Each structure stands twice: as structure tokens, then as C-alpha cells.
Amino acid sequence: MAQTDEELQDRVCRACNATYQYPVLKSTATRFYCENCMDLPAGVRATFEQFNKRIKALTATVQKLEQRTTPASGK
């Protein structure tokens, strides 16, 4: 379907994990980074991205452990 406006998407920033909308007029946000992170120097943003990857991996690990230690039924 042809739309004149680009369709807004909810995106998750690769660096800070924030949810933001893209594309927003006059926003410096890109497909991968939110506006706040685009204000950061590239090196800082890259470091944030590494941290975010680790946090995501650790979160997944914690969730797995929680599922293992929490009984599936009852309390």
C-alpha cells in the first residue's frame, strides 16, 4: 500500500536498549540507535553496544536459571 509518510516503527536501540520510534522528523535517531545515543561519540556508543550485548546475554541466562528454579506449577 502506498503511503506518503514513512511508516513509524518501534525500534530498540542497540546501545542503550531504549524503545524509540523511527523515522521521526528532525530526529537524529537511526535504524539502530536512538537520538540520545546518536549524540554520543562513536567510540562511546560502540562501548555501550558491547555492554548491551552482555546485558542481554546475562538477562537470558538469568531467565533460564529462574525457569529452572521456579516450579512450573503451584507455589
Q: Is 40 in the site for Zn ion (CB under 5 A)?
A: no
Binding-site member from 11, 15, 29, 49 for Zn ion (CB under 5 A): 15
**Closer residue to Zn ion (CB): 48 or 67:** 48
Alpha-carbon dihedral sign for residues 19, 23, 24, 27: positive
Contact characters 44-73, Zn ion, x per CB under 5 A: ------------------------------
Do 18 and 36 form a contact (C-beta atoms < 8 A)?
Answer: yes
Binding-site member from 11, 22, 37, 49 for Zn ion (CB under 5 A): 37
Q: Is 29 in the site for Zn ion (CB under 5 A)?
A: no
Least distance CB 45 / Zn ion (angstroms): 8
